[in-house]
Chains A and B, each alone.
Chain A
């Protein structure tokens, strides 16, 4: 169980997830399924069962910060985001940029940078959010528990049919 965590989650170097959660803003109006598929490269697209997660969690805020109209749970965020106002944007990618370390971002920090300077990139926002919770509730945490490796992925990880020959007859030293 604990060991499931070892199997890791994760990741794709090149996979930048851009679609998803382009959902409107009314409290109970959410998609039942979301396919996270853009640039699926090393791994197949993930079909995210949103309805199941809605049932499984107590509140949208478990995943969505304060954007769905719930008060912010973090005392640091609450200093500014003190109301329970529903935001126009709910999806992760609306705030979490795919490429936060572009030269442009580094040299011209965006407004609010002082507080939002430690914002994970989109891929990490997902993985940190999902895996962090899955570790606590014993959800799946292995990479391929959520998304199957593509051929490009096998090549990248030198696994499957691209496994090193050496691995077959010698394991280590």
Chain B
């Protein structure tokens, strides 16, 4: 007969199960959705105004004390650069870049500034397993380098290809990305450096909800000047920075296939099964065990202990 008594058996499986309970019960918190802070700030970017002067890049470099660029900020040959066939993207050394696009049938090129869009429900934040990211009530998505382990899941998760990584740092590699000038400006209610520097006011800074009205007004009051879409109003659950344009967005390098829901919504189905597996599996499989082994020998474990006692 079995030497494993019922009590021991339950204790064993409970210990195993309980050890695991810790982690996933926290995962249950992932449910629920977040629409953004009501008074969060944002920036409306009007692509029709941008003339590609790159002053915002210079402003960002100065404000964020970034390393010296490879080329001067008034060198417009950067617009012709291609890396792996791709136009420039933000890196650990440049939190914002301006690219040039040539929309079909347009006389003038179109310029687009790229930086962190400060999502309402950021994918980087929700994918981070040490919670290094924070969406502040002011609307910025900021990052705490002190807890970052360097898994770079946020770079995988970001639908806009924004975060850069200081791969060349040996002892303290970290994520680097636009933080809305949170530390130096946003916290005090001031617009970020790029916005302030722009001679054309391509970017308008304000409360996100106010700016959304302005964006709609501009589209309405200037018939034929804009395509009827605000990129970032709904994309991935809404972004703090959003765009209006005179050319279709895909021709300005925007990914127009992004889901309208936050990225984390894709993951919620999976997160929902976690507590289920945790609670149902132990019962299910111990049940199987009892059924499968009823009336049979309990296997070598017991054979051994039986033998030991025979000595």
Interface residues of A (CB under 8 A from B): 2, 5-14, 76, 101-103, 106, 117-118, 120-121, 123-124, 127-128, 131, 135, 141, 143, 149, 156-160, 162-164, 166-167, 170-173
Contacts and interface: CB of A to CB of B under 8 A. Distances in A.
Given A14-B197, A128-B200, A131-B200, A143 B74 contact: yes
A171 B69 CA distance: 11
Contacts of A173: 81, 83
Contact of B70 (A103, A117, A159, A172): A172
Interface stretch (B52-60, B117-125, B129-137, B170-178): B52-60
B53 A8 contact: yes
A120 B107 CA distance: 25
Nearest to B108: A5
B189 interface: yes
The 6 A-B residue pairs with the shortest CB-CB distance, nearest first, are: A13-B197, A11-B199, A124-B201, A10-B199, A103-B189, A159-B72
Contact of B75 (A2, A14, A159): A159
A172 B82 CA distance: 9
B68 A6 contact: no
Contact of B68 (A117, A141, A166): A166
B53 A143 contact: yes
B225 to A, nearest CB: 12
A159 B57 CA distance: 13
B197 A11 contact: yes
A13 B70 contact: no
8 contacts: A5-B108, A6-B52, A12-B199, A106-B206, A157-B54, A157-B58, A157-B72, A159-B75
B69 A128 contact: no
A9 B206 CA distance: 24
Given A13-B196, A160-B72, A173-B81, 9 more contacts: A6-B52, A8-B76, A10-B53, A13-B55, A13-B58, A117-B210, A128-B49, A135-B108, A173-B83
Interface of B: 49, 51-55, 58-59, 61-62, 68-78, 81, 83, 100, 107-109, 188-191, 193, 195-201, 204-207, 210, 213-214, 217-218, 221
A100 B228 CA distance: 27
Contact of A106 (B54, B55, B69, B189): B189
A5 B111 CA distance: 11
A7 B69 CA distance: 19
A166 B69 CA distance: 8
Contacts of A163: 72
Contact of B55 (A12, A101, A102, A131): A12
Given A117-B214, A156-B62, A173-B83, A10 B55 contact: yes
B68 A158 contact: yes
A164 B70 contact: yes
B69 A101 contact: no
A164 B55 contact: no
Nearest to B55: A11
A158 B69 contact: yes
A6 B197 contact: no
Contacts of B197: 11-14
Contact of A118 (B107, B198, B199, B214): B214
Contact of A6 (B109, B210, B214): B109
B209 to A, nearest CB: 12
Contacts of A127: 199-201
Given A13-B193, A118-B214, A124 B199 contact: yes
Given A11-B198, A128-B49, A172 B73 contact: no
Most A-side CB within 10 Å, residue of B55, B196, B214:
B55
A11 B206 contact: no
Contacts of B78: 172
